[in-house]
Chains A and B, each alone.
Chain A
Amino acid sequence: MSTVAAQVHEEEDHGHHHKETFITKYVFSQDHKMISKQYLITGLFMGIIGIAMSLLFRLQLAWPEQPMGIMSALLGKWAPDGVMDPNVYLALVTIHGTIMVFFVLTAGLSGTFSNLLIPLQIGARDMASGLLNMISYWMFFLSSIIMVISLFVEAGPAAAGWTIYPPLSALPQAQPGSGLGMTLWLVSMAIFIASSLLGSLNYIVTVLNLRTEGMTMSRLPLTIWAFFITAIIGVVSFPVLLSAALLLIMDRSFGTSFFLSDIFIQGEVLHYQGGSPVLYEHLFWFLGHPEVYIVLLPALGITSEIIATNARKPIFGYRAMVASILAIAFLSTIVWGHHMFISGMNPFLGSVFTFTTLLIAIPSAVKAFNYITTLWKGNLQLNPAMLFSIGLVSTFISGGLTGIILGDSTLDINVHDTYFVVAHFHLVMGISALYGLFAGVYHWFPKMFKRMMNKNLGYIHFWVTAVCAYGVFFPMHFIGMAGLPRRYYTNTAFPYFDDLANINVVITVFALIAGAAQLIFLYNFIHSIYYGKPTEQNPWRSTTLEWTAPIKHIHGNWEGKIPEVHRWAYDYSKPGHKEDFVPQHIPLKKGEEELQH
């Protein structure tokens, strides 16, 4: 099946890859390599906005209500006398969350690397449908534009938190951001979801049908496994968010009562009867929790690949790694209730969700231990990509462990929605996935842009970021355990929290340094695209197929025949071979056993 499809594709390709205009090559390109670059650059652009917002509200938290020139410069009338307005604070945390979770770590990460690597690593000429792939990117672009436009709305952008729980998000009377800003948020997200679905379907079909000769599922690199399973989770859960968004739009604009009931606001009793905000919470988190793994699994897949390559060792426990991806994917769809232990749902449900949630720790632990064992007795090439991958394992452990507390319904009672949660999920999914993104960029930059990035700037980028990430989020656990709720504009309304002011200053200083360190990356990235050192074909001496493709990007990826695959992706330092890596397309020697893993 896969060969037939590949051949058909091959024949098709011969006809029409000669005449390319600027528009078809750089703008409305159907080539997966170009689309992946488009995803990456759009994602990075959104990332700059998201991170800049976090720095602004960190300034407010460290020096609450003190006039700052930068506030009036960037926020204008929303920061009268240089002091950020409380509604704007909420808008900033809302848009920061939305942008980072969806636009940077879903589209920017998965979109970039699924697109780049799925065809190249499975040995396909392109995605199953180049057209859908192009449409997927442009819908993502459109949704990004709408989200950015929503920042300039008169009453401000959406401000109900990235989870946009109704009634706050449904009623313009409840906060200014719930007017036009929220409408644009919903429209943007609806388009984003459609884009994500088109992308995911394409990834699934491509992995199932377009694998080259010999590329069985059990020989797939772990990156592909991760992208494939991520796409499946996306297809299963994103439509539910779309339905939640549609019902919310109906409540907002057409007077239905899906999520609203018995409301008195601004001196007026509203007509809504019989709806329940808890229903919205269920629908939201049915996507919202799998979303964590949509963000995290691709990062873990990238890390698996980079750690094995640079340890010059096979990934330890390939089968267990695949099994744990599957287990995490399955469990991720039945744990959403742990975001709702104290939402008013039946406590018995809380017990069920505690059980399923804590089970996730088991495949996660297997993954962490397998990474560590992969390092053991390796010959570690500590380039920037490898450092970010090791950094990912470190933050994945530090952040994952506190999940044991949050996933336990009992313990969640008192830390729910405090800064402890903020610290937890930023480490385990925010920072970890961001490290995965950086690791991927450093590792596959030569493949994408035919040049190399500057190593030493990469080192500075990593070490400053690594220290600051812990500097920001470790102390945050303490203010959470002190009982400070998240999404507070300032804690000065409570003298009880006065002793947390110093910690907030420490956190903000680390955050500012971390933000500055990203400029180094940005410089390195842009500069290297034009002036980086030209790369060799296989700079990391890697086994996977993408490095057998020529450096120059050609439509269809390989001149002539697609390489055939004869072994798994992890034959590093295999005894009996002169080199410390044996690429997948090299046939087994006489008498050589393919490790049956």
Chain B
Amino acid sequence: MTILLTFTVLALIAIALWQITKIFELSQPKKNNNQVADDDDNRWNGQLMFAFLIFIYAITLFSFWKWGDVLLPDASSDHGVEYDNLLWISFAIIFFTQTITQALLHYFAYKYRGEKGKKALFYADNDRLEAIWTIIPVIALAGLILYGLYTWTDIMTVEENEDALVVELYAQQFNWKARYAGEDGVLGDANVRFLQDFDGKNLVGIDATDPNGFDDIVVQELHLPAGREVIFKMRSQDVLHSAYMPHFRAQMNCVPGMITEFAFIPTITTEKIRQNEDIKAKVKKINAIRRENSQALIAKGEEPLEPYVFDYLLLCNKICGASHYNMQMKIVVETQEEFEKWIMDQQTFAEVIQ
């Protein structure tokens, strides 16, 4: 019944639209009824072009004013600061170019709107002008490319070293696991073939014949010490996933059959970022929204939403199936002491399979 009703409503809306456009069309004076623009058309469309320029500027400013606070807070990783610099320089160039070119385009469309009897200027070429607007982008881009490549190499060069913490991120439909190397600092060999060993207790497929694996620790919540380099080794057991940690400006795909890498130094602990003014404002806003939504839920006799507390997040950012939208893991950044204390409390692989 609902289906029938919906279709009827849809059909009626379509017919109504059809009729409205027909009436509109019939109400037009006959002379207008072809596609060639006359002076009137040129005038009002030219004016609308100018209005449209203002609209573009307005929607830009409005969006920043209204939604500027949804953007990510300052980076919480060492390289993220460089990243943010490059991002804002690029944005500055983009906004500058956007403002000028849109202005020229729409202003010309308004200013040179056609009039009967007017003749356009025959102006087919100007090598110097074209050279100028080839060279300007060349210079701007050369700068951006060089800066970008320098930062890229810096971020992507992962060197094994004694001080770094090695963590494996393990992806599967639809959750994340993390594996720490334990006291020996070496991750044991692993493969999906071993996943069924030990009645499914071998969560990430550690090879039980590799002695390096016994002190490995597999957890469902990612803890990172602040100020220490973390080298991530990514694996996936089924389809492509992507480990996306937006607050750290970090992302790398997890590919079945290979190990991918990404490294960064987290700089701000969870405790500390919760005191950040931007984050505080954001959490406050989110909780206001959640309170409002809760009232609707309570009215329906359902459980209200829990108040929100900020946490760093690891999200899946490569389409991976039905619950892709909910494949997440909490990240806790803490001091080195807290981290050591936490890891002492976790079970090693040897303890799990006993």
- A interface, CB within 8 angstroms of B: 69-70, 72-73, 76, 82, 85-87, 90, 160-161, 165-168, 171, 174-175, 260-265, 267, 269, 274-278, 311-320, 342-344, 347, 350-351, 354-355, 358-359, 361-362, 365-366, 368-373, 375-387, 390, 393-394, 397-398, 401-402, 404-405, 408-411, 413-414, 416-418, 442, 445-446, 452-459, 463, 466-467, 470-471, 474-475, 477-479, 481-483, 485, 487-491, 493-496, 498-501, 503, 516, 519-520, 523-524, 527, 533, 535, 539-540, 570, 572-575, 580, 595, 597
B109 and A390 form a contact (CB under 8 A) = yes
In angstroms, Cα B23 to Cα A270, docked, is 64
Question: Does B164 interact with chain A (Cβ within 8 Å)?
Answer: no
Residues of chain A within 8 A (CB-CB) of B155 are 410, 413
Residues of chain B within 8 A (CB-CB) of A347 are 152-153, 156-157
Residues of chain A within 8 A (CB-CB) of B48 are 463
In angstroms, Cα B315 to Cα A307, docked, is 46
Among B277-332, those with CB < 8 Å from A are: 282, 285-286, 289-290, 305, 308, 310-311, 313, 315-326, 328
Looking at chain B, what size class is its interface with the partner chain?
35 or more
Residues of chain A within 8 A (CB-CB) of B172 are 264
Contacts A269-B192, A404-B90; is A342 near B252 (CB within 8 Å)?
yes
B239 and A174 form a contact (CB under 8 A) = yes
Residues of chain B within 8 A (CB-CB) of A320 are 130
Contacts A317-B130, A470-B55; is A350 near B90 (CB within 8 Å)?
no
Instruction: Tell me the minimal C-beta distance from B151 to chain A in angstroms.
Output: 4
B86 and A261 form a contact (CB under 8 A) = no
Question: Does B94 interact with chain A (Cβ within 8 Å)?
Answer: yes
Question: Does B138 interact with chain A (Cβ within 8 Å)?
Answer: yes
B87 and A405 form a contact (CB under 8 A) = yes
Instruction: Tell me the minimal C-beta distance from B169 to chain A in angstroms.
Output: 13
B238 and A264 form a contact (CB under 8 A) = yes
A86 and B323 form a contact (CB under 8 A) = yes
Looking at chain B's contact residues, the main secondary structure is helix
Residues of chain B within 8 A (CB-CB) of A70 are 6, 10
Contact of B239 among A171, A311, A315, A366 (CB under 8 A): A171
A408 and B6 form a contact (CB under 8 A) = no
B320 and A168 form a contact (CB under 8 A) = yes
B258 and A404 form a contact (CB under 8 A) = no
B34 and A313 form a contact (CB under 8 A) = no
In angstroms, Cα B240 to Cα A455, docked, is 50
B21 and A457 form a contact (CB under 8 A) = yes
In angstroms, Cα B331 to Cα A561, docked, is 76
Instruction: Tell me the minimal C-beta distance from A423 to chain B in angstroms.
Output: 11
For B87, the closest partner residue in chain A by CB is A411
29 A-B residue pairings within 8 Å (CB atoms): A73-B3, A76-B3, A168-B239, A168-B320, A262-B256, A264-B192, A264-B237, A269-B195, A314-B124, A317-B124, A354-B148, A354-B152, A373-B129, A375-B109, A378-B114, A382-B46, A383-B37, A390-B106, A397-B105, A398-B56, A404-B93, A410-B155, A416-B317, A482-B72, A487-B324, A499-B69, A499-B289, A572-B122, A574-B122
B24 and A457 form a contact (CB under 8 A) = yes
B122 and A314 form a contact (CB under 8 A) = yes
B35 and A458 form a contact (CB under 8 A) = yes
Instruction: Tell me the minimal C-beta distance from A203 to chain B in angstroms.
Output: 27
Residues of chain A within 8 A (CB-CB) of B94 are 401-402, 404-405
Residues of chain A within 8 A (CB-CB) of B126 are 316-317
Residues of chain A within 8 A (CB-CB) of B344 are none
In angstroms, Cα B171 to Cα A174, docked, is 14
Instruction: Tell me the minimal C-beta distance from A535 to chain B in angstroms.
Output: 8
Contacts A375-B105, A470-B59, A487-B319; is A358 near B144 (CB within 8 Å)?
yes
A382 and B41 form a contact (CB under 8 A) = yes
Please indicate which of the listed interface residues A174, A405, A483 has the most CB atoms of chain B within 10 Å of its own CB.
A483
Residues of chain A within 8 A (CB-CB) of B106 are 390, 394
In angstroms, Cα B71 to Cα A463, docked, is 30
Instruction: Tell me the minimal C-beta distance from B286 to chain A in angstroms.
Output: 5
Instruction: Tell me the minimal C-beta distance from A334 to chain B in angstroms.
Output: 15
Contacts A168-B319, A381-B114, A503-B70; is A489 near B325 (CB within 8 Å)?
yes
Instruction: Tell me the minimal C-beta distance from B94 to chain A in angstroms.
Output: 4
Residues of chain B within 8 A (CB-CB) of A72 are 2-3, 6
A276 and B255 form a contact (CB under 8 A) = yes
A351 and B325 form a contact (CB under 8 A) = no
Contact of A411 among B55, B86, B104, B195 (CB under 8 A): B86
Contacts A261-B256, A394-B102; is A453 near B286 (CB within 8 Å)?
no
In angstroms, Cα B87 to Cα A483, docked, is 14
Question: Does B76 interact with chain A (Cβ within 8 Å)?
Answer: no
Instruction: Tell me the minimal C-beta distance from B66 to chain A in angstroms.
Output: 9
Question: Does B134 interact with chain A (Cβ within 8 Å)?
Answer: yes
Question: Does B275 interact with chain A (Cβ within 8 Å)?
Answer: no
Contact of B290 among A69, A373, A408, A495 (CB under 8 A): A495
Looking at chain A's contact residues, the main secondary structure is helix
Contacts A398-B102, A456-B24, A574-B122; is A344 near B173 (CB within 8 Å)?
no
Residues of chain B within 8 A (CB-CB) of A393 are 105
Instruction: Tell me the minimal C-beta distance from A294 to chain B in angstroms.
Output: 24
Map CB proximity to A onto B136-168 as digits: 1 under 8 Å, 0 otherwise: 111001001100110111011100000000000
Contacts A175-B322, A416-B317, A487-B324; is A263 near B289 (CB within 8 Å)?
no
Contact of A262 among B28, B34, B86, B192 (CB under 8 A): B192
A453 and B97 form a contact (CB under 8 A) = no
B137 and A384 form a contact (CB under 8 A) = no
B6 and A417 form a contact (CB under 8 A) = no
Residues of chain B within 8 A (CB-CB) of A365 are 133-134, 136-137
Among B240-266, those with CB < 8 Å from A are: 240, 242, 244, 246-247, 249-253, 255-258, 260
B246 and A483 form a contact (CB under 8 A) = yes
For B252, the closest partner residue in chain A by CB is A342
A493 and B130 form a contact (CB under 8 A) = no
For A175, the closest partner residue in chain B by CB is B321
A380 and B113 form a contact (CB under 8 A) = yes
A489 and B112 form a contact (CB under 8 A) = no
B149 and A381 form a contact (CB under 8 A) = no
Residues of chain A within 8 A (CB-CB) of B101 are 368-369, 372, 397
A263 and B18 form a contact (CB under 8 A) = no
For B98, the closest partner residue in chain A by CB is A401
Contacts A416-B317, A442-B35; is A260 near B41 (CB within 8 Å)?
no
Residues of chain A within 8 A (CB-CB) of B67 are 475, 478, 503
Contact of B35 among A262, A453, A483 (CB under 8 A): A453
B328 and A494 form a contact (CB under 8 A) = yes
Map CB proximity to A onto B3-32 as digits: 1 under 8 Å, 0 otherwise: 101110010001001100110110010001
Instruction: Tell me the minimal C-beta distance from B106 to chain A in angstroms.
Output: 7
Please indicate which of the listed interface residues B35, B45, B108, B121 has the most CB atoms of chain A within 10 Å of its own CB.
B35
A474 and B60 form a contact (CB under 8 A) = yes
In angstroms, Cα B34 to Cα A349, docked, is 55
A417 and B318 form a contact (CB under 8 A) = yes
B258 and A316 form a contact (CB under 8 A) = no
B34 and A455 form a contact (CB under 8 A) = yes
A414 and B123 form a contact (CB under 8 A) = no
Residues of chain A within 8 A (CB-CB) of B108 are 372, 375-376, 378
Contact of A265 among B24, B124, B173, B322 (CB under 8 A): B173
In angstroms, Cα B193 to Cα A347, docked, is 29
Residues of chain A within 8 A (CB-CB) of B42 are 380-382
Residues of chain B within 8 A (CB-CB) of A376 are 108, 112, 121, 123
In angstroms, Cα B321 to Cα A265, docked, is 12
Question: Does B339 interact with chain A (Cβ within 8 Å)?
Answer: no
Residues of chain B within 8 A (CB-CB) of A413 are 83, 155, 249-251
B317 and A354 form a contact (CB under 8 A) = no
A351 and B59 form a contact (CB under 8 A) = no
Question: Does B118 interact with chain A (Cβ within 8 Å)?
Answer: yes
Residues of chain A within 8 A (CB-CB) of B289 are 498-499, 501
A278 and B320 form a contact (CB under 8 A) = no
B37 and A417 form a contact (CB under 8 A) = no
Contacts A262-B192, A394-B105, A453-B35; is A485 near B125 (CB within 8 Å)?
no
In angstroms, Cα B285 to Cα A232, docked, is 53
